[in-house]
Every structure is written in C-alpha cells, then in structure tokens.
Amino acid sequence: PEARGLLILRPEKPYTAAGLDALRGYLERGGRLAVFLEPDAVTNLGELLTEFGIRPIGRRVVDPGAPTAAVGFPGLIVGRFGNHPAVRLFSSGQVTFFGAATGFRLVKTESTDRLHGLAFTGIEGRPADSPELPGDFVPLAVAGERARSGARIVAFGDADLATNRLLRSVYNIDLVMNAIAWLLERPEQLTLRPKSVRAVTDQRPVVLGEALLSFFGVGLLVPELLVLAAGLLWLRARG
C-alpha cells in the first residue's frame, strides 16, 4: 500500500530526476507531504514545491520590526497567523518561535489550488541579504491543497522547529502538530495543548517522531509513522 504521508526533514542535497518524478507522481495521486526546509539548503526540492504553488525564498528571512529573541540568536518571534484550520484556534498574544528560517511565496499554478500562509513575519519581513527590498508579511509556514488530485502539502522554513527543543517553545508544538493533523485529515486532533509554567529540567532535543507519538497517541500514529518512515526510505532508494 502507498504511504499515507511523507516527511522530508532538512533536505541537504539535490534529488535525482527520478527521485523528483517519484515525489511528483505520489502527489499527483493525492499524496500528503510535510517538508521542513532550512535557509540556503542545497536542494532542488523547491522546484517540486513551486509546481504546486509553494515557492521557497531559499534565503534567511529577517523581520527588523519584530520582537527580538535572545541576543546573538538568529530567531524570529512570530505571532501573526493565517485563516486556516491548522491555526484557526490561535489568537492574539499567542506566539511561535522560529530559529533561522526561510520563507515562501504563494503563487497558484492551477486556478483551483488552495494556498494558505500559516505563520507570518510582520510587515517588515524580507530576505536578510536584501535590506533594500520593501518589507512584507512573509509566510514562514504554509499549507497547500490541489483540488484536482486531493494532494496536500505543508512546508516550514525552519527544520529546527521540529527537531530540537524549539518544539517545546511557546506554541510551536501546536503549530507543527496541527499542521500534520490537517495534512492527514485528522480534524479531531486540531487543538491547543495545555501549557505548563513550571521549569523544564529535561532539555533533551525533541525529535518530531517523539512529539507525534506523544501528542497524537500511540494507537493512532504508530502505523502512520511506520508508513512515513517507509515512504522516506523508498524515496531515498529511488533518489
């Protein structure tokens, strides 16, 4: 059976033509893809995403007008969210934290495509190496759906969001888990999880697989994680 969803985390080298064709065919058959990118990554995955209306900027995005993170840490405090089921429960004052992140441009390639920004910079967002450009609300996390095939994609401009302790930060876990829930059509899992104010003594890096198991439930996600892993291995073999 075909994988229910594929997870591509921090791609660091180009896919072969055969690998991209395999991904393209999977999506054209209604597949589901979650992608976590990094700025300046040497990958051609953006070519495929662009075909579905999601165009990675590639370079690191800054927002001079946003609240600052820790001194010397290239992070973005993000509190502006779109109108999409994955973030509809978010309200004013709830924020997420991105490390060094790239952004996206959304340009429909089919008239019936549905493209949404999930989390945005403020009005001064722009590529870090282009301070002369006018600022804009730059989406750092996006969701897309192709009506013709039923394919769904969620893309994040920061892989650290899901692979280290940033997943524990503020509402990051809700952004990531809700995006995956929407991707896999699990509307009952769209929620804001309880937050603890006590000190966290366990600072181990949190990998996405652990978080999915913890927050979606073992009975629900063990089979789906297996097909995600199997699909990823299949793509690596094809690539």
* CATH at residue 150: 3.40.50
**What is the Cα–Cα distance from 128 to 39, expressed in whole angstroms?**
10
> What one-letter code names the amino acid at 179?
A
**What is the Cα–Cα distance from 228 to 7, expressed in whole angstroms?**
6
Tokens representing residue 104 in the block: 């996206």
Do the beta carbons of residue 225 and residue 209 sit within 8 Å?
Answer: yes
* pLDDT tens column, 98-153: 988 999 999 999 999 999 999 999 999 999 888 887 889 999 999 999 999 999 99
pLDDT at 63 over 70: yes
Mean pLDDT taken over the chain: 81
Residue with token string 């697989």: 209
Q: How many domains does the chain have?
A: 1
In a domain, 39, yes or no: yes
Domain ranges, residue 86: 6-238
pLDDT at 5 over 80: yes
In a domain, 1, yes or no: no
In a domain, 187, yes or no: yes
Beta-carbon count within 10 A of 203 CB: 9
In a domain, 113, yes or no: yes
In sequence order, what are the beta bridge partners of 8? 35
Please give the model's pTM, rounded to 2 decimal places: 0.81
In a domain, 78, yes or no: yes
In a domain, 167, yes or no: yes
pLDDT at 199 over 70: no
Do the beta carbons of residue 153 and residue 52 sit within 8 Å?
Answer: yes
In a domain, 58, yes or no: yes
Could you write out the three-class secondary structure of the chain?
CCCCCEEEECCCCCCCHHHHHHHHHHHHCCCEEEEECCCCCCCCHHHHHHHCCEEEEEEEEECCCCCCCCCCCCCEEECEECCCCCCCCCCCCCCEEECCCEEEEECCCCCCCEEEEEEECCCCEEECCCCCCCCECCEEEEEEECCCCCCEEEEECCCHHHHCHHHHCCCHHHHHHHHHHHHCCCHHHCCCCCCCCCCCCCCCCCCHHHHHHHHHCHHHHHHHHHHHHHHHHHHHHHC
In a domain, 67, yes or no: yes
